[in-house]
Amino acid sequence: MFFKSVVSFAVLLAAQIAAAQSCSRTYTVQEGDTCDSISAANNASTYQVAVVNYGNVDPQCDNLTPGESICLGFAGEDCQTTYVVQLGDTCDDISSAYGVNTTILYMNNPQINEDCSNIYVGEVLCTACTVEVPPAPGGSPVPSVVQPPPTAVPANPSGDGGDDDDLPWCD
């Protein structure tokens, strides 16, 4: 299962690399905003906001300035189907709730680790049934693009174990 997932990941990732990268939505930062609060309020995932602002917003999002304009999504690669992680959530819960299989969930949210033990409360995940987010810029490793904020509270630190064979498919 793991190797199959890696292969489909590589194939589908290669297919989405050619896209144009113009910003389709912007947001003006307010006092007290965090990347995740902005993501949650605007249906833009944590990963997506980090990718589209790479080089401008730090991976831990500790350098937002009120008044600055940030991008929320690239045209044609803008996932607007999102879910805000709650305490106790697992990837299997989220997959089941949205009818999106874990392969697609991981491709849309490549910051999630293999056993899904690093999702955190308030993280915004793309739960679309197709791959909609842009790839990491220039093939950068995902941790150099996005990291949990220092205060992140793990949703489910032990992970959800593994068996994802019985998950429903996207409809």
Ligand X SMILES: *[C@@H]1O[C@H](CO)[C@@H](O)[C@H](O)[C@H]1NC(C)=O
Chain residues binding ligand X by CB under 6 A are 8, 42-43, 101-104, 164
Which one, 132 or 164, has the nearer CB to ligand X?
A: 164
**Nearest distance from residue 136's CB to ligand X, in Å?**
21
**Nearest distance from residue 50's CB to ligand X, in Å?**
19
**Hunting for tokens 């709650």 — which residue is that?**
86
φ and ψ at 131, to 5 degrees? -75, 120
Q: How far is 58 from 121, CA to CA, in rounded Å?
A: 20
CB-based contacts of 50, cutoff 8 Å, min separation 6: 35, 57, 59, 61, 145, 146
Q: How far is 130 from 19, CA to CA, in rounded Å?
A: 15
Which one, 27 or 58, has the nearer CB to ligand X?
A: 27
4 CB-contact burial (10 Å; exposed 0-12 / middle 13-18 / buried 19+): exposed
**Nearest distance from residue 126's CB to ligand X, in Å?**
12
φ and ψ at 11, to 5 degrees? -65, -50
**Nearest distance from residue 107's CB to ligand X, in Å?**
9
**Nearest distance from residue 144's CB to ligand X, in Å?**
27
Contact (CB, 8 A) for 46 and 146: yes
Which one, 6 or 153, has the nearer CB to ligand X?
A: 6
